[in-house]
Copies of this chain bind each other. A is one copy, B any other.
């Protein structure tokens, strides 16, 4: 038997979340650092998750009459400058290339509003061209100066960005909310990640937007993670990019626009939520191999057991099972696949063969069951389904346990120091937010959730002005 050393996660999730996260991403073969600082290699296990996100979302996009397209990686400097707030917001993060075009610098896209809307200004002429709904899947570069973290903040990442154009404010508004709700559905259905939908504050909205909606989660360490945004851009960009259309009566008008995106950051959120001290736990829907089969081998019965294990492997082909017949001990293999997050482990040895059964162990709750081989497909289907559901419920409870409702600044301060997120009545004003940020050692507004109490009478917890509603505040990624 080989004696290669095996190293699991060496820190506890509760004790050192940050180090635990770094280890789990690398040891579960999700991603690796690259020689270029802040850039990552997305390994097959994680890229498969991204493909599941793409498949899921592309199906929804088709129903919503959004079509995919692809726009250039490079953006001329003059495009950026057309929308002043946008230019200002992205300036520090842009990577420029050395080549110039007609004396102009070219940026590697940090987001594509400007290059896409330059095309839209040529394509849109009449109300018949609207609504125009286009999405692209692309790589994005933001030259972060903050410390990077795999999936959560890297200088290059993958995302989708949707860019729609409408005749009226009403349609634009309605669909900005609709796309955000699609993100929520995706996170919950596919990734088993609970999210909060709401509106960002003036200070935290997208550079150039009228307003920004977001999906957010509170991670197990009490910090918030923004996982997707949907911006109503009003007519800000149609004005600066000269996008105009003739309405039904022949009048020239400026259209309304929204843009919305989710990224590979979701994979980081998934690992944060579902991992434990033994390793990753993959929601069944995004696991490439949903099952690992471990034969329990003894000299005399080895042949018989391997034969049966192969039969089971063939029977379960649609789950991309791994038959781990390598020359390691069963315990070594258990650890390995727990680290990688494989949803279901099947163990089969001579005793099991005699009883025409296998041992089934679920990764999410570690429960062990004996299952008759004759009914194995049905049992696996049920277990995977139950596991997917169970993981979302568990994550939701965990998230709720990290949030405290408070009313005063003192309570706020105490909660943030105790690594909690807070829900608090707040005025929403930029000046007040800046003050809070300084006083509270970095907590910022997350969003004002759509879901609000009916008759909130509390004043702003900080400035005692009128409150807009309850807001989430937290330290954030």
Contact = CB atoms under 8 A, between A and B. Distances in A.
A286 to B, nearest CB: 14
A32 B119 contact: yes
A69 B160 CA distance: 17
Interface stretch (A94-102, A232-240, A393-401, A447-455): A94-102
Interface string A137-148: 011010100000
A143 B41 CA distance: 24
A68 B41 contact: no
Contacts of A108: 73, 97, 108
Q: Which of A76, A97, A115, A158 has most B Cβ within 10 Å?
A: A97
Interface string A51-93: 1000000000000000111111111100100000000000000
Contact of A42 (B69, B118, B128): B69
Interface string A376-408: 000000000000000000000000000000000
A34 B69 CA distance: 14
Contact of A95 (B35, B75, B99, B128): B99
Contact of A97 (B41, B75, B98, B326): B98
A70 B47 contact: yes
6 contacts: A35-B79, A37-B102, A39-B73, A50-B70, A95-B98, A96-B98
Interface in A116-152: 118-119, 122, 128, 134, 138-139, 141, 143
A262 B192 CA distance: 36
Contact of A69 (B47, B71, B99): B47
A40 interface: yes
Nearest to A32: B119
A71 B47 CA distance: 10
Nearest to A158: B70
Contacts of A98: 95-98
A280 interface: no
Contact of A96 (B36, B51, B97): B97
Minimum-distance CB pairs A-B, first 8: A44-B67, A39-B72, A42-B70, A34-B72, A96-B98, A36-B74, A47-B69, A44-B69
A76 B139 contact: no
